[in-house]
Every structure is written in C-alpha cells, then in structure tokens.
C-alpha cells in the first residue's frame, strides 16, 4: 500500500523499474537547487561529479563582475544545500570557465579554460581536496590562435588522470588533444588528432574503462559536410585503437557531446544531429568494445519541428544508460532519458516550465544508490537574477 509521503510501493528490491526500493517513482525529482550571482548574468554548470558519500561537485562559469566569467567550482551536500565554492580568474578579461569534473576518494579534478592577457584562452586543469583546498593548477596553450580549452577529465582505475579538449595549431585549425597528467600537474604523454580537412576539430568528453582504456568523444570537420560526431577508443598509453564517426541524414553538423563506458567495456556516445537550420534531434549510440555499432536511439521530442540535444551520458551500476540535455517544445527544458543496455527506453522526464524560460542540462552523473544528478543552467527571469547554475537529483 502507498503510505503517506510515498510516490509508489513496490517492495521487490529493484530500482529503475518504475517504482524504486525507497518508494520513489523512476525519474522523480527529489530536489532542485540554484546558485548564482547578483548581476543577472549567465551562471552555468558544465561539469559534475558525485562522491561516494553523495556530495556533488559542479564546475562552470560565475560572474563576479561584467568583465567576464570566472572559473567556478561549487560543492553541494547530498540534500542539495550549497557548500564551499572556489573562483579562479584568468589574466585576461575574457570568459573563464570550468568544463568538466571527476572525483576520487580524496580529490576533485576539474578542467576548462582561462582567458589569457594576450587575448587567447589557456587550457587549465586543477586538483582540489574534497574540502575545497587547492592542490595544484596546470596551464598550457593560450597562443591567441583560438579557444584552447580542456573539455573532459577522467580518472582511471589506477588513479591516472587524463584530460581531453581542443588546441589550435593555427587560426581556424583546431585539433583534438588527449593528455596524461601525473601528481602535481606534471604532463605525461599527449596525443593529437587533426582531421583530414584540417579544420575545426575538438574533443568534448573523455571516460575511462575499468581496463584502463580511454574513450573520447567530440567532432571533426569534414570537407563539404560540416562537422561529424567523432568517438574513439585509446589504450591507457595513448595508442589509438579505433575511431568512429556519426553523420546525420542531412549532412550538416553532428557532434558527440558525451561518452561513457559500462562494466563490460561497451561504449556509449550521445550528441545531436542537425536536420535543418534550427532543427535537430538527439542521439545515443552503443558500440561494442571493438568499435562495432550495436544500436542507435534517436529522439526528436514531441514538437513537429524538433530541437533536441543530448549533451552528457552516464552509466549506472546495472549498465543502464542515462542521457541528459535539452528539448524545446514551447520553451527549452532540461531532458533526461534512461535506457537499458540493450537500447530499450525506460523513461523520459522533462524539467522546467514548458511555457517560459530556458533550461538545459549540460552534465550528468550517477551517485550512491544509482540516483541521478544533473546540472546546467536555468533562466529565472530578469527580476530574479537571470540565468543561474542549476542542479537536480532524480530517482533512478
């Protein structure tokens, strides 16, 4: 029987089957929190990690002044209460920002970019203690050729740290860069990928397998075909094992925005494919460990003119897949979908007012009990400080 305060009552000991072990409904919003400045500017979260005790660590962009955003790291308690925060300001007056986060038993690692005084953007990686204490920060790039930025960070099973992003070797020629880091921020090996068109290529995400292999997702420029989604698998020493591209039916821009690896070593990528100007659908694809595509799930939402994008993906303890992004139907709302490892859609939830405002999940993480944390930004309106960083916790 459904008792007071329960959403459902299905005591079969299983989660993600519609009614969870704690009598919450699958996909149910457990709490929502916003944090932002007082200038009415665009605070945003891009990266998120959840520790073993349920504390969450988000990174993004925060405005202390109108001269540009600062690199932001924000901790949250398990119930959504904001904890410590750290801001890092680059030497230039441009936009700084965190783009990715991962957490181990005793450290939080973040990656992103800082504006340099010469007008370029520097690739930045840093380590913090779980209490917010800065341990080290490493900078590179920033040659004013383009927007150098670290976009993904992953800690391997042996404690190794790897970062992926983009760097510019010339104006208009962005390359995918994967780099190993050692304790203290010392650089190890680097692997550079420059597509055949020598155009705008970049990594958006990186994930580590239990074997130590690395999976990287992003995009590469294809001559006369815009951008293609790009997903690749590397050995822990930087050797490329395989790379696959995603090309939509219209031959327009397609991007891999997030990657994850399950317990069997299978790879999941998510992103969006452009169908026409202002029209896009989201996609999720599974590859076997050897790079063979097994299934693809596409989602256009309920609108007759779809505008959907998946920006991040995570895998829970049962190898179920959670994709996060946004869907526009009236207004842009945060979107979460959960699928089985075979590609069966388990549930879809949209978050935010369907009529007004602009909401988006940019990142997702799995925490204790397979609960789902997602973060991004939400538009509270001009009277309520505009966009703020937004984080939610959702039942599995």
Angle at 394 between CA 17 and CA 79, to 5 degrees: 135
pLDDT of residue 17: 87
Class of domain 31-266+365-394: mainly beta
Task: Tell me the C-alpha distance between 60 and 378, whole Å.
Answer: 13
**What are 356's two structure tokens?**
């007004």
pLDDT of residue 382: 61
Q: pTM of this prediction?
A: 0.95
Q: Which residues of the chain have pLDDT under 70?
A: 382-385
CB atoms within 10 A of CB 184: 9
pLDDT of residue 305: 82
Quick: pLDDT tens for 162-215.
999 999 988 888 999 999 999 999 999 999 999 999 999 999 999 999 999 999
Task: Tell me the C-alpha distance between 228 and 246, whole Å.
Answer: 6
In which residue are the tokens 């299983």 written? 14
pLDDT of residue 330: 78
pLDDT of residue 118: 87
Quick: pLDDT tens for 209-239.
999 999 999 999 998 888 999 999 999 999 9
pLDDT of residue 384: 62
pLDDT of residue 385: 66
Task: Tell me the C-alpha distance between 282 and 299, whole Å.
Answer: 5
Task: Tell me the C-alpha distance between 58 and 97, whole Å.
Answer: 11
């Amino acid at each position: 029987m459904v008792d007071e305060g329960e959403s459902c009552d299905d005591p079969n000991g299983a989660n993600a089957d519609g009614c969870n072990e704690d009598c919450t409904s699958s996909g149910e919003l457990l709490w929502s929190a916003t944090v932002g400045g007082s200038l009415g500017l665009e605070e945003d979260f891009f990266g998120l990690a959840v520790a073993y005790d349920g504390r969450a660590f988000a990174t993004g962009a925060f405005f202390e002044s109108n001269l540009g955003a600062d690199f932001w790291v924000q901790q949250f308690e398990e119930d959504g209460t904001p904890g410590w925060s750290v801001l890092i300001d680059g030497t230039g007056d441009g936009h700084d920002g965190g783009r990715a986060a991962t957490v181990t038993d005793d450290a939080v690692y973040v990656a992103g970019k800082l504006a340099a005084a010469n007008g370029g953007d520097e690739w930045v990686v840093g380590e913090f203690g779980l209490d917010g204490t800065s341990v080290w920060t490493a900078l590179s790039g920033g040659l004013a050729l383009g927007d150098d930025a670290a976009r993904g960070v992953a800690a391997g099973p042996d404690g190794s740290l790897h970062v992926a992003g983009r760097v510019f070797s010339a104006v208009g020629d962005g390359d995918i860069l994967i780099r190993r880091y050692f304790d203290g921020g010392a650089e190890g090996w680097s692997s550079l990928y420059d597509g055949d068109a020598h155009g705008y290529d970049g990594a958006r995400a990186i994930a580590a397998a239990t074997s130590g292999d690395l999976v990287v997702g992003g995009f590469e420029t294809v001559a006369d075909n815009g951008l293609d989604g790009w997903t690749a698998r590397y050995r822990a020493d930087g050797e490329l094992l395989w790379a696959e591209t995603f090309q939509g039916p219209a031959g327009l821009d397609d991007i891999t925005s997030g990657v994850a690896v399950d317990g069997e070593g299978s790879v999941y990528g998510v992103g969006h494919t452009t169908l026409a100007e202002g029209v896009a659908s989201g996609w999720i694809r599974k590859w076997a460990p050897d790079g063979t595509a097994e299934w693809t799930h596409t989602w256009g939402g309920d609108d007759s003119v779809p505008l959907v994008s998946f920006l991040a993906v995570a895998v829970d303890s049962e190898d179920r897949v959670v994709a996060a992004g946004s869907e526009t139907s009236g207004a842009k709302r945060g979107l979460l979908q959960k699928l089985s490892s075979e590609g069966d859609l388990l549930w879809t939830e949209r978050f935010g007012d369907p009529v007004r405002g602009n909401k988006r999940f940019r990142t997702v993480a799995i925490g204790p009990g397979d609960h789902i944390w997602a973060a991004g930004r939400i538009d509270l309106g001009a009277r309520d400080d505009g966009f703020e960083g937004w984080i939610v916790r959702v039942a599995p």
